Amino acid sequence: MEIDELNLDENAVVVVCVRATDFSPYADNLHGECALCHVSVQHRPHVPQPCTLICKECFLARVEDGETIYATPRTLAEVQAYFHRN
C-alpha cells in the first residue's frame, strides 16, 4: 500500500471502510470520508482513534498480493458473528 500518498507516519492507523451506500448489517455505523477519493464511507463506532479512513475500493486498488491485513479483535468478532448468523 502506498501510504506516502496519504502522508502518514509509520504508526498511523488506516481503517478500510465500505462506502456509505453499501449494505451493512450494523445500524449504529458512523460515517466519514475516504481520505483518497473523498467518497462517503461508514465504519464501526469503535475504530481506533485517531485514524485515517479509506474506502474498500481505494484499498483494493493499492494493496499488493500477499500483504498482511489487520483488524481489531472486536471487528473480527463482529464479522465472525455476522457470517455465523447468515
The grid coordinates listed for 83 are 457470517
> At closest approach, how far in Å is the CB of 28 from Zn ion?
22
> Which residues lie below 8 Å from residue 72, measured CB to CB, with a gap of 6+?
46, 47, 48
Beta carbon nearer to Zn ion, 15 or 36: 36
Binding Zn ion (rule: CB under 5 A), the pick from 15, 17, 36, 53 is: 36
Quick one: which segment of 6-14, 21-29, 33-41, 44-52 binds Zn ion (CB under 5 A)? 33-41
> Which residues lie below 8 Å from residue 4, measured CB to CB, with a gap of 6+?
none
Q: Catalog residues that contact Zn ion under the rule CB under 5 A.
A: 34, 36-37, 55, 58
